[in-house]
Amino acid sequence: MKIAVTGATGQLGRLVVAELKNKIGAENIVALVRTPEKAADFGVEVRSFDYAKPETQAEALKGIDRLVLISSSEIGQRAVQHKNVLEAAKQADIKWIVYTSLLHADTSSLSLAGEHLETEAALKASGITFTILRNGWYTENYTASIGGALAGGAFIGSAGEGKVSAATRQDFAEAVVAAVTKESTQGKTFELAGDVSFTLADLAAEISAQTGKNIPYSNLPEAKYAEILTGFGLPEGFAAAIAGWDVSVSKGDVFDDSKQLSSLIGRPTTPLSVAVKDALAAL
């Protein structure tokens, strides 16, 4: 049995490959990457694979039984790129695809949802056995900003009192491995989120408690938050998108209390306090 992982050098992909090695052995894994040199240390078979080059994909997928399709990072191009991969997968006679989608993609106001829904529909229509993992927010989406919050004296955003059911990338990586190695997950859609939800004010309070500094949460209007992010050097379009995602958070779009993630991985998801501690240690 050969399991291939797309986007294997990405932040989630690396963790998935590492967990798969522990679970089924390196000889059963193929890392599909745009730049093979970046996967030189993986210790598994590496094949060149580019979401934007559909003419090469079927060849790269030859001999693969199961495919972990980690969503492309190119927002706006994802639906087309994913459909190309699905077509190549049919040509290569892949038996099963596990796809990383978005939490509550069918009801979410997040601008990211549409492309994921398109992919889900294409996957279901492909005739290939599927498992859909609707991933919630990564805790790292926020802990990556801790250094800036400490420097600026506040944690900023536009999420209001919206609850974030986040989990770490490690948690989600283990879910991918559990899903692709258990036939019982076939044909199912999982809503994956952290066990314990928090607001950004809760996150700011946790940062304050662990650092001994007063780091309040400052809730900003969407346009003001986008303006500040642009001032930090982010492209205007991306800054506007991030601010918009925070507004969706305020509407409850990244809240979920079903605990399907912890059930899938067989342990509680990583607590916010641990994620913050690890982020502070890395500063």
Q: How confident is the model over 180-230, as pLDDT tens digits?
A: 999 999 999 999 999 999 999 999 999 999 999 999 999 999 999 999 999
Give backbone dihedrals phi and psi of 69, rounded to 5 degrees, phi first. Answer: -95, 95
CA angle (9, 241, 124) in 5-degree steps: 60
262 falls in which pLDDT band (50, 70, 90)? very high
Q: Quick check: 183 and 98 in contact, CB under 8 A?
A: no
Q: Write down the pLDDT at residue 283.
A: 94
State the average pLDDT over residues 28-35.
97
State the average pLDDT over residues 136-159.
97
Q: Write down the pLDDT at residue 74.
A: 92
Q: Which residue has the tokens 């303006």?
A: 227
Average pLDDT, the chain: 97
Q: What domains can you pick out in the chain, each with its CATH number?
A: 3-135 (3.40.50.720), 137-167+193-255+270-283 (3.90.25.10)
